[in-house]
Amino acid sequence: MKLGLLVVTLLLPALVLAGAHTGAGQPTGGEVVSYIHAGKLLAVPGEAPRENVTVIVKGDRIQAIRDGFMMPSGEPGSSRVIYLKDHFVLPGLMDAHVHLGRASGAFQRRSRATDRRETNADRTVNAIINARLNLAAGFTTLRDVGSDEESVFAVRDAIDAGKMLGPTILASGPSISVTGGHGDDSTSADPDERARAGVCDGPDECRTLVRHLKKIGADLIKYKSTGGFASNTGLSQHMFAEEMTAIVATAHQRGMQVATHAYDAAAIKDAIRAGVDSIEHGFLLDDEGIRMMQDRGVFLVPTITIARPPSIAFRFVPEEEALSSVRLRDEYAAFERAYKAGVKIAFGTDVGVYPHGENADELVTMVSKGMSEMDAIVAATVHTAELFGLSDTSGTIEAGKYADIIAVTSNPLEDIAALKDVDFVLKRGRVAKQGGKVTLPLRYDLEHTY
C-alpha cells in the first residue's frame, strides 16, 4: 500500500503517529521542529541536486541540512518527520506578476456582460481565494502588480499577521497610468478619484501619486509605459520619459522597487534610462534595449504564456488583432533573444488574466522556447528572490532562510511539467499542502480583540 506523504508527529517523550493535526497541519506544543526526509533535494537552483538528505526546520526557519535520514533526538517541544523520500524537493516558487484581486480568467467577460463594477470587497474575496490557489500550486511568494487601494493590502496583512496561511505577498496597490492610458479606470477628474485609480500626468503629479501609494501601504510601484491588450489601447508609448524618471526616482527614494508594463521598444529604453528595476512583458524589446538591460542589471519578466495561442487578447479584441499579438510576440522573440544574451529573467505569469493556480504553465512555455529546465527553476526562485530584494531570506533551501519548501513526485529537471502538479507545500514551517491536499487556511484559535 502506498503511504504517500505520511507526517509523523512526535510529542516528547512518546512517539505518536500523526493522525490529528491542529491548525494548518501543525502538531501542537511549542516551536515545531520538522525533519524533512528528501529523496532528491535541489537546495540551491543552479547547483546539482543532492540525494537522501534531511532538511531540519525549526519554527519558520531552516536550521540545517544533513546527509542521510535523521530522526529527532532530544529537542524540546514538538517534533515531526515529513517523509518525502520518493519526492523531488526544492524551494518554494515565486511569481513576480500576478493580479490576486481578479477572478481567475473570467473577469473580463463577466464584467463586460453586466453593468455592475467589481467592488473592493469583491476583489478582497477574490484575493483570499487566489492567494490559496497560488500557494497550493507551489508559489510561496507573489508580487501583485495591479489591484486597488485596499483588497490585496488587506489579504497581505492578514497573512503576515498569521490570521490565515498564505503566500508572502508584495503589493503595488493601483498601478500607475496616465489619463486615457492602459488601466485608467477613473470615472471623473476628481483628484481623489484619480489617485484611487492610479492616474497621474506630469512629473509633479506622478511624484505625489508615488508618495500617496507608499502612504497607503505599497511595497513597490508598478507603472504602465505603454498601452495594452487588455484595455485595447495599443502597443505604443503613453508616458513621457520625464514622468517615468519622476516615478522611479521617488519610489527609489522611499525604498521601493519599480516595475513597468511595457511593449514598445522606445518606451522600454526610456524606462531603463529612468532606472526601472524590471520590464514586464517587453514583447517588442530590441537589441539596443537588451544591451541596456544587461549593462544596468534590469530584469525581464516575460509573461510569454499570455501571448501564445490561444492568445488572451481573444477576450478583449477582434480575432484578427488577437492573432496579430501572437505574431508580434513570435516575430520579435524578445524572451528568447534576451535569455540568449544573458539578461536576468525573473518569473512572472499575469495570472488573473488566465486562471490562478496554473502559474507553472509559464515554466513549460519558457522551456519550450529554449530555456533549460534548471534555468527556468532558477528564474522562479533565485532570480525572482533577487528582484524582490529577498535573497537573504528566500529563494534557496539554506540554513537561516525561511522554510518555504515544495515537493513533486517526479524530476522537473527532466520534465519541467512536473511542477504543474505540486504534491507538498511548506510555508514558513507550516504545512499548506500534503499528499496533494491543501490544509485549512484560517486560524480558529485567535484571541478575540473586541
Q: Residue 207: in which H helix or E strand, if any?
A: helix 203-216
What is the end-to-end Cα distance of the chain in Å, rounded?
50
SS3 161: coil
Provide the β-strand partners of residue 10. 15, 79
SS3 51: strand
Reply yes or no on whether the pLDDT at 115 is more than 60: no
Mean pLDDT within 347-375: 95
pLDDT at position 11: 30
Contact residues for 209 (Cβ-Cβ < 8 A; gap 6+): 176, 195, 198, 199, 200
Q: Among 69-73, 248-252, 384-388, where is mean pLDDT lowest?
A: 69-73
Parts of the chain belonging to CATH 3.20.20.140 = 93-388
Query: How is residue 118 annotated by DSSP?
Result: P
Share of residues in the chain with pLDDT > 70 (%)? 85
Parts of the chain belonging to CATH 2.30.40.10 = 7-92+396-438
Q: Contact, 295 vs 277, CB < 8 A?
A: no
290: which 3 cell numbers? Answer: 537588451
Whole-number Å distance between alpha carbons of 118 and 125: 11
Burial 241-258 (b: 16+ CB within 10 A, else e): bebbbbbbbbbbeeebbb
Mind giving me the DSSP string for 247-273?
HHHHHHHTT-EEEEEE-SHHHHHHHHH
The mean pLDDT of the chain is: 88
Assigned superfamily of 93-388? Metal-dependent hydrolases (3.20.20.140)
For the whole model, what pTM was predicted?
0.90
61: which 3 cell numbers? Answer: 526557519
pLDDT at position 148: 95
- For the domain made up of 7-92+396-438, give the CATH fold: Urease, subunit C; domain 1 (2.30.40)
Q: Contact, 231 vs 185, CB < 8 A?
A: no
**Each residue's pLDDT tens digit, 140-192:** 999 999 999 999 999 999 999 999 999 999 999 999 999 998 988 888 888 88
Whole-number Å distance between alpha carbons of 263 and 196: 25
Confidence band (pLDDT; 50, 70, 90) for 289? very high
Radius of gyration of the chain (CA): 22
Residue of 302, 325, 295, 425 whose CA lies nearest to 371: 302
- What is the amino acid identity at position 157? D
